[in-house]
Structure formats: C-alpha cells, structure tokens
Amino acid sequence: MSKQAKLLIVGFAFVGVVLAMNLELATPTDIRLCTPRPASSALPAIALERGFFASQGLRVHLSTEDLGMRCIERLNAGEVDLAVAYVPPVIASIRRGQKLQILTEVHSSNRNAAIVYRPPRIRGPRDLMGKRVALIKGTNSEALFRMYLLAHDIPDAKVNTLFKKPSEVASALQNGEVDAGVLWEPELSQTLKSGNFAALESSFYTEFSMLVKRPQGTPALEAAIEPFIRSLAKAQNLIDRDPERARLITAQVLHLDLAYLTPEVWARFRFRMGLSAVLESMLEQVQTLFDRGEGLPVIEPANFFEPRFLNIIHPEVVTYK
Amino acid sequence: MTTRLSFQTLAPPIATLFVFVVVVGVSMAVLAFRFTELQRQIAATTNATRSLIEISSLRAMTKESLLRYRLSGSDQAPEELERIENSRLFESNRLKDYVLKVESNGAILEPFFSGATETLQIRARIRKAIQHRDFATADRLSANYATLYQINTARLKDLHAFLQSRLNSSEKNLTQLLQMITILVLVMVLLGGFIAWWMARFYRDRVLEPLTALHRGLRSVSEGKLGQQVERTRAPLEIREMMHDFNQMTDRLKQAKKESTEAREQALIAARIKSDFLSNMSHEIRTPLNVIVGVSDELSRRDLDPQVKREVMTLHKSGQMLMNIVGDILDFSRLESGNVQLSQENFDLHDMLKRVNDVLVPLAKAKSLSLTLSIQPEVPREISGDLQRLERALINLVGNAIKFTQAGYVNVTCRLAGGLVEFQVSDSGAGIPQDKMADLFSRFVQADSSITRKFGGTGLGLAIVKQIAVLMNGDIDVVSVPGVGSTFTLRIPLPPRASSGPSLAPTPAPPTDFEHSLEGLRILSVDDSPDNQFLIRTYLTTTGAHLSEAKNGREAIEAATSGVFDIILMDIQMPEVDGHQATRTIRRFEKERDRGRSLIIALTAFALTREIELSRESGFDIHLTKPILKPKLIQTIRDLIAMRKTSSGTSGFASYT
C-alpha cells in the first residue's frame, strides 16, 4: 500500500472519529409540549411526524388535552415546557397573574364554531333571548357567544346560559336540555348532519390558538425555541404545498376521525404563524367580554407577546405593533 | 461531387445556433413573463393598499358621521351615511379584486370580510335608534360597535401588513429578477462568445485546415510533385470527396508521368537505336560508295575511249547522287534530333554563292535552264556563320528549283533586308498548289507523290532547309503560283566577320594538277578495307608522297612508333584495334618520347556529330567523312601541312563531310 493511501485512510479515520464525537455531543434537547386535541394543533403534529423537530436537534414529547385551558394549567404547573392554547384561557391565565409569553399564532379560524339551535323556536339572533344556551366556560365557546350577543345588541342577562363540559353540550342539545349551544368541530358537523338542528354563524369572532411558554425558562429551552419555531415553519410550508397530505398526517398524530376532519372542515383552518394585530385585538376584546366584575386587572396583551424568535425567522408576520 | 453543403457540415453550427436561440428565447420569455407577473403583483398590491387606506378613511368618516348624527339629529346624516356605506362597499369590492390578484385563494380576506355583515347591521340599528331619538339604544349599540370596530381595525392592519409584506417580497423578487437578467445576459454573452470560438475552431479544424492541406497538395502538384497525397482528415463530406478526387488525380498523374517517362526512355532508346542504325548504315553505305565515287572519278580523269569514259561518268554521277541521298538522310537526322551545334567561322559570302552557282550550273545547263546569280552591292562579303550548313541550304533550294523547273529560268538573288541576309530563289516551274503549301516544309513531303516518281529525291530537301533556317534563327517562306513559278525566300541573320577570329574554313579551290603536290611527305594509310587502301594508293600515286600502309590499328601503332610519318590517314572502324584507340596510343607515345606530332586524319564513313566529337577527343587533327574525292583529300593534306608551318606545330580540330 502506498504512503499516500495510508495517509488517506488515517485522514478519513480522524474525520470519522471527530464526526462521531460531535454526534455524541449533539444530544437532542427534550421539549415537553401540550396541545389541544382538535385539528388546530396541526403544525406541531406535522412537525413531529415529519421529523422537523428531530432535524433541528429537538426531541419533542407531545401530549394532548381536550381543552387548551388544561394545557395552560399544565404549563403553569411546570408539567410541560410549551403549550398550545386558545385566546380565552391564555388571557384569563395572564390576568390571574401567571406570567406567560405568547410566541406565535399556530392557527386561526372564523368558521370552526357556531351556535346550534333547534328550530322552530329559534329563527334568528333575537330569538335567543329567554332561551337556554349551553356553553363551555372560559373557552372559545363562551367568547364566541358573548361577541355574537354584543354584535346583535342582546344583553347577556336576557339569555339563560348553562355551562357544560365539552362532551355534554351536544348531548344537552340532543335531549332538549338546552335550546341552543355553541359547538365546534367535529361535534358541530355531527350535530348538524342529523338535520334537526340549524346554526347561527358568527364569523365575526376569530379563534386563535397560540404557542406559549413561561418566561425565563432553562437556557436549553430558550435555545430550543428558535429551532422549534423553525420546525413549525417547515410544517406550515408542507400544509401550503400539500394540504391533503397534511390533513392525513394531522388526523394520524392527533387521533382524529377522518370522517369528520373532511377536506371541507380542514379548509376552515388557517395555519399561519405570526403575532398579528387581530390576535392582539381579540385578546383585548375577550378580556373585556369576560370581565364580569371579578376584579381581575386589565392587561395590555401586546406586553405578553415575545416576538424575538419570530423576528429572526419571519419578521414580516409580526404585525401587531 | 456534392454541390450543396451537406447536413453533416451544416448540422453543428445550425444545431448550436438553434440551441442558443432556443435557450436565449425561452430564458428571456420566462424572465419577461416573470417580470410582467411581478409588475402585475406590485401594481395590484399597491392598488390594494390604496383601497385599504381609502377604506380606513371611509370607516373613520362613518364613525364621525354617526357621531355627528347622534349629536345633531339632523335629517341629512342618513343620506351621508348611505353615501359613505356605498363608497365603502365599492372600495371593499375593489380591494377584494386586487387582493385576489395577489393571492388567488383569497383566504387572507376571510377575516377581513367575516364581520362585515354584522357591523353593517349594527350601524343600521344605530342609525334607526338615532332616527327614533332612542339615544340610549344608540349609545349602547355604539359602544358595541366600538368593540367590533377595533377588531376590524386590527384586521385592516393585518391585511395592510400582509399587502406590505407582499409588496416588499415582490420588489425583492423584482430586484433579484433584474439581477438574474443581468447574469443571464452575461452568461449569454459568454455562451455566445464560446459558441463563436467553438464554431471558429470547428471550421478551422474541419474546413480550413483540410482546404489548406488541399492547397498545399495542389501547390506541390504545380511544382511537379505529381504523387502528392492529401491525408483525409475529419473534414466535411464535400472536402473529403475533394480530397479523395485529388488523391485519385495525383495517382493518375503519377501513373501518367511514369508512363510518360517510360515512353520517353523508350523513345530515347529508339532514337539511339535509330542513330546507331543511321551511323552504321552511313558507314556501310559510304564505304563502298567511297570506292565507287573515288575510283570512277579517278578513271574519268584518264584518257579513255569516249564510250567507256561516258559509262564511267555515268557511274560516277550515280555514285554522287547516291551519296547526296545518304547525306540528306544523315543531315535531317542530325537536325531533327537537335544534336547539331552551329559553327562560327568567317567566310566570304560572295565566294560561297558563286561556288554554289558553279556547282549547280551544269545541272541547269543539262535542262537548258538559265541559272543566274545576283548579289546586291549592300551584301557584305566577309561574314561569320556556319558556312557548310548555309551552303547546304542554298544548294538544296537552288537544286530543288532546277529539279522542278522544266523550262525557263532559276534566278538566285541575295540582298539585305531588315538586318537579315535574304536569299531569294525564283523559278519558272510548275508552281505549288495552295493545298500543299502547308506541308511543304514537312519531312518526306513533296507536292505530289507523282513528283517522287517523276523527279526522284528523298523529300527531305526543304525540310532540311527549314531546320537549318530555324537553327540559325532565320526563316523561310514561299510564294507560288501554279503554272507560273515559285519564289523561296530564306532569311538568315549573318553578322559581319569577326575582326580577330581566325578563319578555319578552308575555301579550297579545286586543284587541277595533283602531280608532285605532296612531294616528300611520309604518309601512312590505315584501313582494313583493301578497296579503300587501293583507292588511297590510287589518289596518292602521282603526288610524290611516300605511302605506307597498315591493315588495322595495331599495325598502325607499330608503324607509327617504329617510323616517322607526316600524315596518318586513319580509318575508325577496324578489327583488333580501332582508329580511336590507335590514335590515342600514338599520341601517348609521341608525348612520352617527346616526338614531333604526326598529323592524323580520321578518314571514316562515320558522319554523325557525336562521332566527330569522339575523333577530336581521341587526338585526331581532322575528321573527313567518306566518300572523299581526290581533290579534297589532297587539298586537306596540303592545308594541314601549311597550317602546321604557320603555327607552332599543333593544329585546331576540324571536320569535313
């Protein structure tokens, strides 16, 4: 064997050892993530399934809850590092003093929920007065309904609201316990499919889900936020390029029934990251709508936005200022 | 041969140009389309932004109008609100159109338009409440409206941000596109340059170099290298065909040259054979002729019975005629082969003309013709030239005229014309038909084959004259009228006699008395022919010379080395030792022994030029061609003896035929 060949082999061996050491040293960062189960959590679900997190050196442990409110509770309890939640629980948590940082929107929709009623007793908004309406307290369900009343100049006191658990609203409607109720997908489509109910759509309310974290996390977590958001951006690109494939992946990861996560339902979701003026406005208005004299402070939502990471990746979507 | 450029030749440049044009065209089309698209997007985004600003303004106007209406309760407010609402609706539709041009699915518009219906309804209710003076409801609704207004303001803000982002993106893309166009143009320039370089290289290697090779080949052929071949390179079909044809042509040229060389060699061999044949024939014919003419001449000089004398004279005349024929043939052969060198000697032209006239007068008289000679006064007497050949030409011309004239005259005139000496021979003969004039100076041609039968002759006379004229840079022409006569004009440039040159041309006056003319001379006659020995002995009997004889070269050497001879008459072709070898041996002996030099005369039937030259090289003093008549022989011997006495004992070389 020639001298040059020996040198070449030694060189390759050295490079191999260095690479192996680097791989050994590059231990992935573990991130605990909690998301609501609905399709609104598609971005982290796709990023996980497609290995976008892994390619960024992250090992994400995903857990799902029926309500975003529960994810916020787990975040505040320190059970997870990051949480995906909707506007009402986030603003409520902040007003109650929990320090949260809103990193980015991960979804928005104007048509994911509606007020379902049984005709003919109810035909329009004004007919809601004096009726029993089932809501889920402190959620998009309540926020949507209260904004609907506001838009149609119906005082809250004129409506008999009944707070139910998420799984109870549909059944309360079915068995006549309530005259109307706010449902979101997939219960919305399931209920309307029976033909006995109709819906009052309030597209005025925009629901948002957003990625939040507690401030001053560990240095490893802080360092992992940017690659985490990059992974979500990749998932967003996949949805734009191939929405049908994204739908299937989402259903698979979040254990959703494809019979109800139809392409039509899927089209109602907008998976856009950003820190928008509408999100800020929604946080403000929901704060007002939910202010029932509990003595909670009025906060400025923009103060809880953390645009630092998004500005690095997609500065153009930071529009709230 | 293909006359049009082949596909093979045209394909590479056409394909390259086609690809280049397609690449450039497609690239520019894509870029132009992209450029137009970006411009359209920028325009639509700008218009959408303007619409947004307009809508924002209208929203503010709505709010202010509602407030004024609330405060004043004027009846004008609803109309103003109606107008503003219509403007907002119009502007909203325009915004929708513009945004759809930017983002075709319109998803971005959904939040913006989602609350439009509800806010419109609230505004309508506010107006109604004000109209009914229900200000409490109006205030409550206005408060609600303010909430929704804030949300929609945020939506407008988001939409504006989106449009701004798109505008920035489009402008960035436009900048990148312009950079790309610049790079593409540079690439195209480089690519075009490369294509130009490649095509130039292609045509240099495939076309110009093969053509240059062909040109080199043609030049080589023109320089005589007939076998030149051109290597068939990677050239286009047409040029390869040209090369193939060129190589075939040179092959054929080479073959033709080879055949030509072979033919020339064969012709030279044939000419040499012919020359040898003529030489041999000349020798073989002249040897007996020498005896016949010489003996008959000697006999005719004796006092014989008249009848016998007439018979001897007839015999002598026939011998002379035969000798002339042989002379004609030899002369023509020498002239035709170009193996003749003119001599330059001084002589008396007038004497020469008179001598020719004297020679031919008997012939003219025999036919009762008048032969006159007229020499114009301006004709110089002393001139320089080849006496023998000029004399031969004139004898031929005048002899011919006498020969073909049955009655009348033959006039010879000599004059100067245009710096040339012009000899004009006119006769009153039968003349020459016009159709025979062209071939008159060709060999073996006479005007009519019947002439040969009637007049005899070889048909070489005029051809010889023509050859001599050309050889002397002169010319000859003829004017003839059938039935009237002919005039031959010979023009020769004859320069005046050189003042310092010796005159070697003997102008012997035919001796009339040979008795004791060679008194006391020791002469050795060398000849293997007893007849020739007899003739020489007969010639010299009464001259007073002491004659010794040798039968061949060996005996001649013995005699010459053992005794002393003034004159040696040496035959050339002899058994054992020929005349050349014998002469060389005698000359060597004379040199070794420092003896006086004998005068050796080549006396031979060989009459060709190369044989005369050979005689000079062997050491002969003079070359005499048989037949030799007694007067000429004796005069030659006397001239040689006289020249020896006047010079230092050596003599120049001369030949007489």
Model confidence at B260: pLDDT above 70: yes
Model confidence at B72: pLDDT above 90: no
Ramachandran class of B483: left when φ > 0, alpha when ψ lies in -120 to 50, beta otherwise: left
Tell which B residues from 108 to 137 touch A, by Cβ distance under 8 Å.
110-111, 114-115, 118-119, 121-122, 125, 137
State mean pLDDT over B68-89: 78
Model confidence at B117: pLDDT above 80: no
Chain B residues near residue A276 by CB distance under 8 angstroms: 154, 158, 161
Asked if the C-beta of A153 comes within 8 angstroms of chain B's C-beta atoms, the answer is yes
Q: How many Cβ atoms sit within 10 Å of the Cβ of residue B108?
A: 18
Model confidence at B517: pLDDT above 80: no
* Per-residue pLDDT, B198: 85
* Per-residue pLDDT, A185: 82
Model confidence at A201: pLDDT above 90: no
Looking at mean pLDDT, say which of A173-187, B322-336, B502-516, B602-616 comes out highest: A173-187
Better-scored residue on pLDDT, B301 or B260: B260
pLDDT > 90 fraction of chain B, expressed in percent and rounded = 12
Model confidence at B447: pLDDT above 70: no
Residue whose token pair is 């857990």? A63
* Per-residue pLDDT, A63: 94
pTM of the full predicted structure? Answer: 0.54
Asked if the C-beta of B229 comes within 8 angstroms of chain A's C-beta atoms, the answer is no
* Per-residue pLDDT, B28: 84
Model confidence at B649: pLDDT above 50: no
State mean pLDDT over B341-364: 84
Tokens of B355: 């001598």
Chain B residues near residue A316 by CB distance under 8 angstroms: 161, 165, 168-169
| ipTM value for the complex | 0.81
Model confidence at B60: pLDDT above 90: no
B87: closest CA of chain A, how far (Å): 22
Model confidence at B277: pLDDT above 60: yes
Best of A146, A158, A319, A320 to mutate (most B CBs within 10 Å, chain B): A319
Bridge-partner residues for B525, per DSSP? B549, B569
> Which residue of B114, B158, B169 is in closest CB contact with A277?
B158
Q: Do B161 and A110 touch (CB under 8 A)?
A: no
- Summarised one tens digit per residue, pLDDT across range A4-17 is 677 778 777 777 76
pLDDT > 70 fraction of chain A, expressed in percent and rounded = 95
Q: Do B155 and A288 touch (CB under 8 A)?
A: no
Q: Which long-range contacts (CB under 8 A, 24 or more apart) does A122-127 make?
A: A122/A179, A122/A180, A122/A200, A124/A200, A125/A152, A125/A154, A125/A200, A126/A152, A126/A154
Q: Which of A280, A171, A61 lies closest to B153, judged by CA?
A: A280
Better-scored residue on pLDDT, B604 or B615: B615
What number of C-beta contacts closer than 8 Å exist between A and B? 74
Q: Do A110 and B111 touch (CB under 8 A)?
A: yes
* Per-residue pLDDT, A50: 95
Ramachandran class of B302: left when φ > 0, alpha when ψ lies in -120 to 50, beta otherwise: beta
Q: Which of B379, B378, B360 lies closest to B370, judged by CA?
A: B360
Q: In which element (H, E) is residue B47 found?
A: helix B7-72
State mean pLDDT over A136-165: 90
Give, rounded to a whole angstrom, the gap between the first and last alpha carbons of chain A. Answer: 69
Contact B430, B391 (CB under 8 A): no
Residue B62 pLDDT level (bands cut at 50, 70, 90): confident
Residue B297 — φ and ψ, nearest 5°?
A: -65, -40
* Per-residue pLDDT, B455: 55
Q: What is the DSSP letter of B501?
A: S
Q: What is the DSSP letter of B607?
A: -
Model confidence at B554: pLDDT above 50: yes
User: What does the mean pLDDT of chain B come to?
Assistant: 81
Model confidence at B247: pLDDT above 70: yes
Model confidence at A18: pLDDT above 70: no
Tell me which chain B residue has its CA closest to the CA of residue A149: B144
* Per-residue pLDDT, A90: 95
Asked if the C-beta of B148 comes within 8 angstroms of chain A's C-beta atoms, the answer is yes
pLDDT > 70 fraction of chain B, expressed in percent and rounded = 87
Residue B74 pLDDT level (bands cut at 50, 70, 90): low
* Residue B406 burial (10 A CB sphere; 0-12, 13-18, 19+): exposed
Residue B654 pLDDT level (bands cut at 50, 70, 90): low
Looking at mean pLDDT, say which of A93-107, A252-266, B162-176, B186-200 comes out highest: A93-107
* Per-residue pLDDT, B606: 67
Q: Do B158 and A278 touch (CB under 8 A)?
A: yes
Three-class DSSP labels, B237-302: HHHHHHHHHHHHHHHHHHHHHHHHHHHHHHHHHHHHHHHHHHHHHHHHHHHHHHHHHHHHHHHHCC
Tokens of B657: 């035929």
Residue A161 pLDDT level (bands cut at 50, 70, 90): very high
Asked if the C-beta of B647 comes within 8 angstroms of chain A's C-beta atoms, the answer is no
Query: Tell me, what amino acid is at A147?
Result: M
* Per-residue pLDDT, B498: 58
Residue B456 pLDDT level (bands cut at 50, 70, 90): low
State mean pLDDT over B102-116: 72
Contact B441, B486 (CB under 8 A): no
User: What does the mean pLDDT of chain A come to?
Assistant: 89
State mean pLDDT over A173-181: 92
Tokens of B298: 């000697």
Chain A residues near residue B110 by CB distance under 8 angstroms: 110, 203, 270
Chain B residues near residue A158 by CB distance under 8 angstroms: none
Tell me which chain B residue has its CA closest to the CA of residue A150: B144
How many whole angstroms separate alpha carbon B410 and alpha carbon B420?
22
Tokens of A197: 């109910």
Asked if the C-beta of B380 comes within 8 angstroms of chain A's C-beta atoms, the answer is no
* Per-residue pLDDT, B4: 52
Q: Which of B155, B81, B94, B159 lies closest to B124, judged by CA?
A: B81
Model confidence at B651: pLDDT above 70: no
- Summarised one tens digit per residue, pLDDT across range B150-201 is 888 888 888 888 888 888 888 888 888 889 888 888 988 898 888 888 888 8
B72: closest CA of chain A, how far (Å): 23
Name the pairing type of β-strands A207-213 and A82-86.
antiparallel
Q: Which of A238, A185, A215, A212 lies closest to A42, judged by CA?
A: A238
Q: Do B141 and A153 touch (CB under 8 A)?
A: yes
